[in-house]
Structure 1
Amino acid sequence: MSASGTTGTPDVTVVLSARGPEPRLTRSLDSLAGQTLELDRIEVLLVGDGPAGDSPVGDSLAGGGLVGDGPAGDEAFRDACAAEQLERFSASHPATVGAAVARARGRYLLFLRSGDFLGREALTRLVDAADIHGSDVVYAKTAGATGALFARTGHRVPHDASGLPWELSGTKLFRREPVERHGLRFADEIPAAFAVQAFTLEALFRARGISVLADYDYCFASRASNTDTDTDPAPGIEDLLRGTAAAMAVTARFTEPGRLRDGFHHRHFARELDPLTGPALLDVAEPVRRRVFAGLRRLVTDHLSDAVLTRLPPGLRLRLSYVRAGDLPGLVSVVRYEAGHGVPPLRTDLVSAGWRRTGPARHTLVLTARSPLPGLGALAEAPVRLTGTRPGAGRIVLRPAPDGCGTEIEVRIPADAFPPGRTRFGLRTALLGTEHQATVPAGAPPRRAHGLRGLRPYRLHVAADGTRGLVVAVAPLGRRQQPRSAPAT
């Protein structure tokens, strides 16, 4: 039910990324040509993915560069990009997505990535939904989507709807009138794949109505593209950081501190800051690494609330703790460990446990443990704790490991802190709500000593307890009990 009438204004301007090989572009154009919406109601603008002046659109286009505007450019562009499909549309090729938005004539905007294609009724259904319900943004279900947002079709969907912050791709229908009225544009200095989130978020927060259509497979994503923004930071780690910072700034501008803001920020910390604090940091030059780290610190300082932090996976919480502490070498050490072991370095290994004489017949239990986490003492207050003993029973000292990798932990507990009998205890490391117990090496030999309690001699014994802790046995020394004689017969 097109509302454009006979004005000649297209219903939809499709901004199509032309990045990638020609067959992918051809598939996208074919799907547009096969829409039930009349072709004269569709405008197609083909753009590159890069920022202004750096917009590669595939090897078939002028050696990988975007051809210029003008008649000669139009002819070369059509020759290179599936001319027979393009000629069916009102089509042109602005240099950037921002320029495409400014040039668009359609009542609605839809962004597609090269290789993605639409279901045959997609544009008709999207336009009808927007016109009937007055929606400024219409979410379109992608084939195979299983998120909570697409469990059912809905209109006047609130911003705090489950799953909405996780769907920030441009594969939505945007009413162009508010886009123009508020001057919404893609930032030309950021590649479109990373700039789309800030655009989408502002459109959402300004929208008078949001619809979610879950009754049809509107878009089929190419295997070579994501249904959301790319999060592989290599080689564009700084571009991803700039795009994420821009998106989070939009959320902060349009929301108050609380659950709604945390919901959107959680999405960015969980999805974008995971790769930004990952192995890509190891693959860039030191000046780039320092710039990225400085940007990450700003994001953590400005936007990471405790409510968001507690919802993140333990490994990411750990990496962000090094960002918050301003410890770039520590972060790099953690990333290297995780890259080599496949798990975050949330472990502590007991190296030794034994008795040390600290006076005449007096002893102290000395434990030595090792954590692969560098600078452990700077990450939290009292990050290492004893369990199973009275509070303050032992003195804990943290220092850099002798080989410079990780932290050495020394614990001293006076023998008098253990009551007679058996005491099970352990050593735990607690960071950011994540706790783990020190592992005692299998088969660790028991350590024995003798001491006094008052004037009475005692035997001291420490050994592994058979699980992941230690057991101390304190028993008085005395004559061994003689076995009873067998009764006379």
Structure 2
Amino acid sequence: MSQPRVSVIVPAYNAMPELTDCINSAIEQTIGLDQLEIIAVNDGSTDGTGKELDRLAATCAALRVIHQENSGTAAVPRNVALDVARGDFVFFLDSDDYLGPDALRRMVAMADENRTDIVLGKMVSVGGRAVPTAVFRSTQPRTDIFSSAAYRTLGCWKLFRRSLLERLNLRFPPFRNTEDKPFTATAYLNADGVSVVADYDCYYHRDRANGNNLTLTAQNLSHRMQGTRMCFETVARHLEPGARRDQIMRRHVEWELCGPLWWLLLRESEEDIREHIYPEIRDWVDRWVTDPVIEKLQPRDRLLLHLLRADRFDDVMTVIRDADRDAERGHAVDGGRVYWEHPLFRAPGAGVPDSAFDVTGRLPVRHRTDSASWQQDGTLRLTGHAFIEHVATLDPATELVLRCYDADHPEVRVPARVHAAAGPPDDGLADEGRRADAG
């Protein structure tokens, strides 16, 4: 029996009716069934999933079905399939998703041509399910996690060179949620190159009609704790302290630590938070969250992390509970900097530095050009509005910046006379603004 190029691994639990489309999308790949093995693991389903897999296997010799008792996680059936996979590459396909017909051929060709260990195929949302977009803005034949947005997506729906996984003895930890992130992180951190296929819709990502995706049913913060700790430990194990580690750690601080705290912590009982979750999270912050990481985060995350560092449990609970209301608070201008007027800003004993509330570089500038005309004296007259919402202008100054895009010329900056004016009444902008005349 010849060795297949790709082993497609499908963990399946009560996956009907989406399962049929999923398996057929693998069977119909243009790379050809002689280049594929499809390993579907029925994880103790009770809805006819096992019967449907057997029916499909009877029509396709490339489909192998394994039946087992329910494990409660996608990790175990993936590992079972990995243990028997023979392909040069492994692709993980969830049973509620499906592939574009030419997806595997394109991804294998990309890996072969560029000798890369991991290939990301463009993901497409079906029915509104969130998918990563930044990494798929352009095709990248060969890149890495430090010079691309690849590390932003830690789902395992990717093409992995199987020799990489076997060299690392890499398997999924048996968690209900966040089980794929440590797996993918470990692979990324040891990969010889990453490729991105962005010019073809490779992977269609959807929620099940019955809403029983593990991602949706295992939503408590407690379901994520083990996987999150393992993410931090994985990065610390493979990268020395410094800028590169901070760059990768930032992803986990934002998405696995701060994000779930804001929207999941209050689902837990206060007793569990105080006795189990809070001490664990404080340990993560003490061990792995550096000042350079905090400096790059949005203000509310900076505030949260400083409170955790200072061991202010009650304040942590209060800022999370009042997050929506506090987000609407205004700003204070002091010493040429703009600060978020949060109740803890310069509060005695809070232990939070002003830098945590500094939003100077994050305020959006609203602007619009209203008219442009040449005057009889040869000057160009521009009118428009530019302002920062909720921040008063102390010393208005405006420059007209001229750039030539057809040649390598330096930009030209021309001072402009500034006159206060009412904001445009019909475009949804604020009522205050600045009108600039440039000559």
Q: CA deviation at 1:129?
A: 2.1
> 1:266·1:308 contact (CA, 8 Å) conserved in 2?
yes
Q: How many residues align?
A: 335
What is the CA-CA distance between 1:148 and the residue it aligns to? 3.9
Pick from 216, 219, 228: which aligns with 2:203?
219
Q: Identify the residue that residue 299 of structure 2 maps to in structure 1.
A: 314
> Structure 1 231/325 Cα, relative in aligned 2: closer, same or farther at 3 Å?
farther
Once the two structures are TM-superposed, the CA of residue 297 in structure 1 deviates from its matched residue by 1.0
Gaps of 5+ in 1: 1-6, 49-54, 62-76, 349-369, 384-429, 437-466, 469-489
- Counterpart of 2:138? 152
C-alpha distance in 1, partners of 2:19/2:326?
37
1:187 to 164, 173, 198: 173
**CA, structure 1 residues 93+236, in 2 after alignment: closer, same or farther (shift >3 Å)?**
farther
Question: Which residue matches 1:66?
Answer: none
Q: What's the counterpart of residue 368 of structure 2? A: none
Q: Which of 100, 103, 124 in structure 1 is aligned with 2:105?
A: 124
1:30 aligns with 2:24: yes
Q: Percent identity?
A: 29
Take 1:105 and 1:251, find their aligned partners in 2: how far apart are those partners?
29
Q: 2:309 aligns with which of 307, 324, 327?
A: 324
Name which one, 1 or 2, has greater alpha-carbon Rg: 1
Q: How big is the shift at 1:372?
A: 4.4
Is 1:434 the counterpart of 2:420 in the alignment? no
Change (3 A) 1:215 1:374: closer
Q: 1:93 to 1:235 in 2, by over 3 A?
A: same
8 Å contact 1:337–1:345 — kept in the other structure? Answer: no
Counterpart position of 2:121:
140
- Counterpart CA distance in 2 for 1:84 and 1:163 is 40
Q: Which residue of 2 aligns with 1:478?
A: none
Distance 2:253 2:64 in 1: 40
Equivalents in 2 of 1:177, 1:243: separation in Å?
24
Whether contact under 8 Å (1:330, 1:375) holds in the other structure is no
RMSD of aligned alpha carbons: 3.2
- Give the match for residue 8 of structure 2: 14
**Aligned-partner Cα distance in 2 for 1:328–1:230:** 31
Question: 2-side partners of 1:346 and 1:293: how far apart?
Answer: 30
Write the deviation string for residues 187-233 of structure 1: whole angstroms up to 9, x where unpaired: 12x12x412111112112222232222221111111459xxx98879
- Does residue 104 of structure 1 match 2:91? no
Partner of 2:241: 257
Task: Tell me the residue number matched to 1:303.
Answer: 288
Cα distance, 1:15–1:157 mapped onto 2, change above 3 Å: same
Question: In 2 relative to 1, CA 154–270 (structure 1 residues): closer, same or farther, beyond 3 Å?
Answer: same
- Shift, 1:22, TM fit: 0.3
- Give the C-alpha shift of residue 238 in structure 1: 2.1
The residue that corresponds to 1:90 in the other structure is 64
- The 3-state SS of whatever aligns with 1:135 is coil
In 2, Cα distance between the equivalents of 1:331 and 1:26? 47
- 1:74-473 aligned at under 5 Å gives the runs 78-79=50-51, 81-87=52-58, 88=60, 89-93=63-67, 96=76, 97-143=78-124, 147-188=133-174, 190-191=175-176, 193-223=177-207, 235-290=219-274, 291-338=276-323, 341=325, 343=327, 372-373=343-344, 376-380=347-351, 430=354, 432-434=356-358
How far is 1:32 from its partner?
1.0
TM-score (normalizing by structure 2): 0.67
Out of 13, 24, 44, the residue aligned to residue 38 of structure 2 is: 44
One-letter identity of the residue aligned with 2:105? T
Q: What is the CA–CA distance in structure 1 between the aligned matches of 2:214 and 2:349, rounded to whole Å?
A: 34
- CA distance in structure 1 between the aligned counterparts of 2:147 and 2:214, rounded to whole angstroms: 23
Partners of 1:378 and 1:44 in 2: CA distance: 60
In structure 2, relative to structure 1, the CA distance for the partners of 1:234 and 1:120 (3 Å cut) is closer
CA distance in 1, matches of 2:194, 2:80: 25
- Determine the structure 1 residue equivalent to 2:401: none
Deviation at 1:137, TM superposition (A): 1.0
TM-score, scaled to structure 1:
0.61
In the alignment, the residues of structure 1 paired with residue 313 and residue 135 of structure 2 have an alpha-carbon distance, to the nearest angstrom, of 37
Post-superposition offset of 1:335: 1.3
C-alpha distance in 1, partners of 2:44/2:267?
23
* Equivalent in the alignment of 2:418: none
Q: Distance in 2 between matches of 1:233 and 1:309?
A: 31
Alpha-carbon offset, residue 157 of structure 1: 1.0
Runs of 4+ deviating beyond 4 Å: 229-234, 344-348, 370-376
- Report if aligned partners of 2:90, 2:162 keep a CA contact under 8 Å in 1: yes
Offset at residue 234 of structure 1 (A)? 5.8
- Shift of the 219–320 alpha-carbon distance from structure 1 to 2, 3 Å rule, reads same
Q: Distance in 2 between matches of 1:325 and 1:248?
A: 21
